[in-house]
């Protein structure tokens, strides 16, 4: 799988960086590592499918559709769908649907890991990470929102407030990460995105209206990929 391939290609990349490698046998991995490090990469979680309880089959169709739409437009940049566990249902659905659509697996792949520790724990360098936010753009709650605000520290909340006070479902906001942020990892920007909510205990619940829900989820992915494109320009 691409995950294993990457793990092999990027051995201890931080300690290799900047070192001359004399041994021929290590040359390949040395250059591959540096090449991969310089490729713009967006890591994103599956929007709305955990706390917001969006249907996984429908969400996986939309992820693959939107990735197919944007992956070529984004040039050499990579898109990576991340989740915490090897048993992630959304990752396996997306992997098989992406394979069916023959999406270039060097430009789009799935990855298991904590989105706030992709480089330090997974040797995967991503310069932009996506947050499945809440409408108030507030830290805490659960899921990936709590993890990103916790890892980045209070400067992310301040930088976010400078860009937007709130989000409507389907919208995204690009936030440059202040250099003083605790989240290093090579991340330069966080993109907050608000997906459609199917959880009756959260604001703006769509009450299983998947006609509207699918439209809003498509908008959410368009907004976040457009946000990534705007960083690359």
- Name the minimum Å distance from CB 3 to ligand AR6: 14
Residue number with CB closer to ligand AR6 (10 or 90): 90
Contact 45, 132 (CB under 8 A): yes
Residue number with CB closer to ligand AR6 (48 or 160): 48
- Name the minimum Å distance from CB 86 to ligand AR6: 12
Structure tokens of 21?
């490698």
Q: How many CA atoms lie within 13 A of 47 on its CB side?
A: 36
CA 160, CA 166: separation in Å to the nearest integer? 9
Residue number with CB closer to ligand AR6 (17 or 212): 212
CA 3 to chain centre: 15
- Name the minimum Å distance from CB 85 to ligand AR6: 7
User: Which residue has its beta carbon closest to ligand AR6?
Assistant: 143
- Name the minimum Å distance from CB 52 to ligand AR6: 4
- Name the minimum Å distance from CB 209 to ligand AR6: 17
Residues of this chain that bind ligand AR6 (CB under 6 A): 45-52, 82-84, 90, 114-116, 132, 134, 141-145, 147, 195, 202
- Name the minimum Å distance from CB 92 to ligand AR6: 12
CA 49, CA 26: separation in Å to the nearest integer? 41
What stretches of 1-125 show up as alpha helix (H) in DSSP?
2-9, 13-16, 24-37, 56-71, 89-100, 118-122
Residue number with CB closer to ligand AR6 (71 or 130): 130
User: 103 phi and psi, to 5 degrees?
Assistant: -75, 135
What stretches of the chain show up as alpha helix (H) in DSSP?
2-9, 13-16, 24-37, 56-71, 89-100, 118-122, 143-152, 154-163, 210-232
Residue number with CB closer to ligand AR6 (33 or 195): 195
Residue number with CB closer to ligand AR6 (155 or 199): 199
């Amino acid at each position: 799988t691409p995950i294993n391939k990457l793990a092999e290609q990027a051995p201890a990349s931080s300690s290799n960086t900047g070192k001359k490698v004399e041994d021929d046998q290590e040359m390949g991995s040395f250059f591959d590592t540096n090449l991969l490090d310089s490729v713009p990469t967006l890591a994103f979680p599956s929007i709305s499918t955990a706390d917001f309880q969006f249907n996984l089959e429908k969400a996986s169709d939309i992820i693959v559709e939107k990735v197919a739409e944007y992956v070529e437009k984004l040039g050499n940049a990579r898109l990576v769908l991340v989740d915490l566990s090897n048993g992630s249902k959304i990752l396996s659905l997306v992997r098989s649907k992406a394979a069916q659509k023959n999406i270039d697996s060097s430009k789009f792949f799935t990855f298991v890991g904590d989105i706030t520790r992709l480089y330090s724990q997974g040797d995967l360098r991503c310069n932009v990470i996506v947050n499945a936010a809440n409408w108030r753009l507030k830290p805490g709650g659960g899921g990936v929102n709590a993890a990103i605000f916790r890892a980045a520290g209070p400067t992310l909340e301040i930088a976010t407030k400078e860009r937007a006070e709130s989000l409507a479902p389907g919208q995204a906001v690009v936030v440059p990460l202040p250099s003083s942020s605790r989240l290093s990892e090579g991340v330069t920007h966080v993109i907050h995105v608000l997906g459609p909510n199917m959880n009756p205990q959260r604001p703006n619940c769509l009450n299983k209206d998947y006609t509207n829900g699918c439209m809003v989820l498509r908008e959410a992915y368009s907004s976040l990929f457009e946000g990534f494109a705007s960083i690359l320009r």
